[in-house]
Amino acid sequence: MDDPTPTNADSLLQAVCRSVTSLLAAAPAPPRRVSVRAGTIAVELEWPDTAVTAVEQPVSVPSSAAPEAARPAASAPEPIGREGENGFFYIRASTVGTFYRAPEPGARPFVAEGDEVRPGQQLGILEAMKMMLPVAADRAGRVAEFLVENATPVEFDAPLIALTALEPIP
């Protein structure tokens, strides 16, 4: 096996990114904030209710994924939508990343304005650090408007999609 100790700035940055990706893969929910520094190597990950900070002088890259017993137990994701004052329900970004409306370039979007959606239905994708995180509806509704364009960088908690409540059938 190759020595994981980086010998230059590029390999050091790659090692840090691999370590952060491993931490994110083992986490039960997406973080609220990720901060990576190159000078004296600092990686900070913050989750909505707790903060996890890892600071290392030498960077060590795990040779394999963490064993199942060492991984935190998965918990139900926190709702990412919020009721608005104007009657809309907003689906918000669960992390900083790039929002995509379709599974890949040139493909049909997951949903279009006017479509009815059900709880758990995928509405888009957030790409964060090469990880593809689904953006799903937390409740039934109708897509009223996309608030960001396809392939747009977004901040944590940014409103992505406005939903309206479904009209009851008379």
Strand order through the sheet with 97-100: 131-136, 122-128, 97-100, 152-154
Helices (H), 75-115: none
Q: Look up residue 77 and give its two tokens.
A: 């994701």
Domain boundaries, the chain: 9-70, 81-164
Alpha carbons 145 and 143: distance in angstroms, whole number? 6
Alpha carbons 21 and 129: distance in angstroms, whole number? 7
Answer whether CATH 2.40.50.100 is correct for domain 81-164. Answer: yes
Give the global pTM: 0.52
Contact 34, 129 (CB under 8 A): yes
Check whether 57 has a pLDDT greater than 50.
no
Check whether 146 has a pLDDT greater than 60.
yes
Q: Look up residue 62 and give its two tokens.
A: 């795990």
Coil vs helix vs strand at 19: helix
Please write the tens of the pLDDT for every residue from 19-34: 776 666 666 667 767 7
Q: Write out the E strands in the chain.
A: 33-37, 42-46, 51-55, 81-83, 89-92, 97-100, 116-117, 122-128, 131-136, 141-146, 152-154, 159-164
